[in-house]
Amino acid sequence: MTAGYDADVIRSARSLLFVPGNRPGRFPKAMAAQPDIVILDLEDAVAADEKATAREHIAEWFAAGRPGMVRINAADTPWHEADLELIRRHRVPVMLAKAESVEQIRHITDLAPGVSIIPLIETAAAVAAVGKLCTVEGVVRLAFGSIDFANQIGVDPDDRDALLLHRSMLVLGSAAAGLPAPIDGVTTSLTDSDAVTGDFTYARRLGMGAKLCIHPAQVAAVHAAATTTEADVQWAQKVIRSFDAANGSAAAVDGQMIDVPVVERARHILATAADR
């Protein structure tokens, strides 16, 4: 298995699990939880005096051909350039902490052309720049750093109303740029699967398509919440059959009008179900 992840895997991922870069013994455990993406973390999970050691552990992991993405430290930190050297050498996907500007992302692609980048949107400046960040070469998806963002603007990160606008801005910017649905932030309750399910179900209703995880126990809950229900599949199949029977004209299913946009939604549901 080659190091890193293909861009298509990142675009379709439902779960992205963080594991501290200074805890190499946890790397295989993170993989065993079967998230779609494992993120080897060099930022918040690693103390300043352990950054270099964490970088070495991650380099060894990639040198063995194992998969992973790396969350690197923000551009204004003293560890950023050393983190970028790791990315340059191993050509693995990168999540940029506290991404705020086009220039920060272009600096990564200048040093490591072709790598996939996820800007982590966790500051007011980043939310304000979402439209621009979505269009930079190398960006394959956005992620919402809801905890840090909520702290900056002075709201409770669990207050869904307080962050509704900002989540929606990521959804809108991603859709306008042709990017996949963005990745929602973490649920801080480590093993409460109901909390994870509730948070991700809500985020999906807004148009988000994946979730950051901070404990292996959260992964299964995310995947369950992302699963297309049998009722949705049956509805979609009925829509397609009715539309085909009407030879492409508007039709009715269960008293509701069925036209091209509704049919496209039905096809998306069936395609998503088939992929899982």
Query: Is 122 among the annotated ligand-binding positions?
Result: yes
| C-alpha Rg value of the chain to the nearest Å | 20
Distance CA 170, CA 156 (A): 19
CA distances from 9 to 13, 15, 67, 68, 99 (A): 6, 11, 11, 11, 22
Helix (H) / strand (E) element for 147: namely helix 146-153
Query: Is 148 among the annotated ligand-binding positions?
Result: yes
Helix (H) / strand (E) element for 273: namely helix 260-275
Which candidate, 209, 115, 214, places its Cα nearest to that of 170? Answer: 209
Which region, left, alpha or beta, applies to residue 185 given φ > 0 means left and ψ of -120 to 50 means alpha?
beta
Q: Which residues are annotated as a binding site for substrate?
A: 71, 122
Q: Which residues are annotated as a binding site?
A: 71, 122, 148
Q: Which residues are annotated as a binding site for Mg(2+)?
A: 122, 148
